[in-house]
Every structure is written in C-alpha cells, then in structure tokens.
Amino acid sequence: MSRVVVVGAVNVDMVVAVERLPAPGETVTGGRFARHGGGKGANQAVAAARLGADVRLVAAVGDDELGADAVAALEADGVGVGGVVRRAGATTGVALITVDAAGENQIAVASGANATLDADAVRRGLVPLDGGGVVLLGLEVPDEAVVAGARAAAAAGCRVVLNPAPARPLPDEVLAAAPLLTPNAAEARALGGAEALAGRTGAPVLVTLGPQGVELVERGSARRLSAPAVEAVDTTGAGDAFNGALAAELGAGRGLEDAVRTALAAAALSTRAHGARDGMPARDEL
C-alpha cells in the first residue's frame, strides 16, 4: 500500500460563486454560498486517501466548532488524524473564496491555528516513519514545521515532495532533502525559475500549468505533459488534487512520468464540482 504523510494546513473554505470576479472596491451580488473543507495540506491528504493510500496528516486546528468539523470530515475521508493537534484558544484557519462562472477563483486566507504548527508537533506526528513512503510538505505552515518534516523524512529515507505554495524563500535544510518541487508557473518565477530550482535540489521540478498540464524540468531539459480536457466548474483545489495524487502514486512505487500523468488526470477530474474536495476522484473513477 502507498504510504503518505502530509505536513500542512487545515482550513474551512467559505465559498461564494458569482458570475464574475469583483474588481478592487467592487461589490458583485447574486452569489451562492457554500462551506467546504479546505487547506492545502488537508486537501492533499484527502486526494491521496481517495486513491487508496494510507495517509496521515500532521497539522493544527483550533479548539472551536470549525476545527472539530474539519477533523471529522478528514476522518470520514479515510485520513489518519492522529497528528492533528488542537490549539486551545486558537481559531481554525479560514479561507474566503470567490469563484466565477468559468471556474476561476480569488482566495484570501486567515491562517489561525496553522501558524502555530511547530517543530515539536511535526516530530511527534511523524513517529513512526520509515523508508518507502512519501512525505508531502506545503508552505501554509511555518518554516520550522517544514524543516522538521524534511529532516525527519530524509533521516528515514522517505521521498520528499514540496509544494511551495504560497511561494517564499526555501530554507537550505529543506533543499538539502532533495525534494521534488511542484510550483505553479508564478511560484516557479518567484523562486528563481524551474531550472535554477532543479540545480539547487538535484531533483526534478514539476511546474503545474493548469489546463496546459505540467512542465517537467530535469537534468537540464524540459518537456510538457498534457492534461486531460474537462469542462471545469471550479478550479479550487486542483493543484492540491495533483499533489496528493502524485504523492500517492510515488508512494506506491510508480515512476515519475506515470505518477505525473495520473496526477494530471486527478487534478482535471477534481474541477468537476464546487469546492476543493468534492470533485476529487476515487481510484475507480480515475
């Protein structure tokens, strides 16, 4: 069985669907509201679990109703939540999302308890950890949590996948773990370019390009892998579906190109429904 440990954020998504995204200072009325589970780490964990991986999430939520609901939803999707800590007096992370008729979105996040995830919580959440699995890291939590995850993964001989979103300078200790990086095009530019990133890690870099697929950069070359065409309803969480499926496939021993093609299909299918997780496919759908 594929084994995946995700270190990342848990949010609750408050989503308003409107005909078009508002311009700065503009109010657009007539929207529809819905509440969904979110947070890149939690979404990625769900995406991997739906493909049959044995998934554990290391994260932090508040001691509020939103946190209790978020953990219950993750458990219902088959995600192991023993590494999710409840922070007294903290609020669970919240994302405010506006989605237009074409499926494009705008997102603003209040990190809440995610900002309290520290190295001690990560070290505790990663025990036991042995080789053969994948540790998937994201940047919606503090650097110390990301560094602790990378260190533990490298020491255990696990493969590291790092989704550098939102983009910020990457600690040298994380790069030393030779992570497979999965930025989108804007994040890759902000971090100095895919070729430079591959040079710093010594590992391939996957630049996600939405409906145009993925650019695979390795050993001084770049090539494009196409994404399946779908009629998108909501692109929220498509990148998370890609990362979770990629980790699940790598954890099952798939080669990189095969894992990427499966992840592209999972990401495409995830846009079929509103919300970050509702469209994420199960293995038989994929």
The helix or strand, by DSSP H or E, that contains position 52, with its residue range, turns out to be none
Q: Give pairs for 168-176: CB < 8 Å, separation 24+.
A: 168/139, 170/200, 171/143, 171/146, 171/147, 173/147, 174/137, 174/146, 174/147, 174/150, 175/200, 175/201, 176/150
Q: Which region holds residue 246: left if phi is over 0, alpha if psi is between -120 and 50, else beta? A: alpha
- Contact in structure between 94 and 11 (CB atoms under 8 Å): yes
Tell me which of 240, 258, 278, 284 is the catalytic residue: 240
Q: Is 172 a catalytic residue?
A: no
CB 192 within 8 Å of CB 185: no
Cβ-based neighbour number of residue 142 at 10 Å: 17
Give the up-direction half-sphere exposure of residue 11: CA atoms within 13 A in the CB hemisphere: 29
Considering only the C-alpha atoms of the chain, give the largest distance between any 2 of them, rounded to a whole number of Å.
53
3-class DSSP assignment, residue 143: helix
In angstroms, the CA 58 to CA 48 distance is: 14
Torsion of CA 44, 46, 48, 53, to 10 degrees: 140
Q: What is the DSSP letter of 36?
A: E
Please identify every residue annotated as catalytic. 240
